[in-house]
């Protein structure tokens, strides 16, 4: 029997600071890593990421830059083990899935190092599948 893995959900927010305060102070979610455009939270053992929705030269209404890639917002997915991630990525390549972001290692050598990949379902919903080098860093700063 497999162990339940944390769920991952990234949602757009109108303003980062009031949303950050709401999730941290009102809901009591522990804050993890962040940038000027997004914040990770421990949402009852799952990974919730709030992404600011703003339009500028660097950010479109539907994407946020993360580790030099344009991450689609909103998106959702599951956090896998590294072994399952690698075999799943290979399976998707063999099925000729069109990736938004090809499988790669994000934040290499930093806290929160993770494998990630993005693609869309037939209805255009963006999916992210990821695996942490060290799952203990899921909510690390």
Residue with tokens 């255009």: 124
Main-chain phi, psi angles of 16, to 5 degrees: -65, -50
Please check whether residue 77 lies inside any domain of the structure.
Answer: yes
pTM assigned to the model: 0.70
CATH code of the domain in which 13 resides: 3.10.180.10
Q: How far is residue 92's CA from residue 15's CA, in Å, rounded to a whole number?
A: 35
Q: What share of the chain is helix, strand, coil (3-state, %, to 5)?
A: 20, 45, 40
Q: What are the pLDDT tens digits along the chain (141 aa)?
A: 357 788 999 888 888 999 999 899 988 889 999 988 899 999 888 999 998 876 444 555 577 778 788 888 788 888 889 998 999 999 999 999 999 999 999 999 998 899 999 988 877 878 899 999 888 888 777
**Number of separate domains in the chain:** 1
Instruction: List the domain range (segments joined by +) for residue 133.
Output: 7-137
Please check whether residue 2 lies inside any domain of the structure.
Answer: no
Closest CA to 73 of 6, 26, 16, 33: 16
Token output for 128: 């992210």
């Amino acid at each position: 029997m497999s162990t339940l893995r944390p769920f991952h959900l990234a949602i757009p927010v109108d303003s980062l600071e009031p949303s950050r305060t709401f999730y941290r102070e009102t809901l009591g979610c522990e804050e993890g890593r962040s940038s000027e455009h997004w914040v990770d939270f421990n949402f009852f053992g799952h990974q919730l990421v709030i992404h600011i929705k703003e339009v500028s030269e660097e950010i479109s209404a539907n994407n946020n830059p993360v580790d030099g890639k344009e991450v689609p917002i909103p998106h959702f997915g599951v956090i896998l083990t590294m072994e399952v991630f690698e075999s799943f990525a290979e399976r998707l390549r063999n099925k000729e899935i069109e990736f938004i972001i090809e499988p790669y290692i994000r934040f290499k050598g930093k806290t929160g190092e993770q494998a990630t990949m993005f693609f869309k379902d037939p209805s255009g919903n963006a999916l992210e599948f990821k695996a942490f080098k060290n799952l203990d860093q899921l909510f690390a700063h």
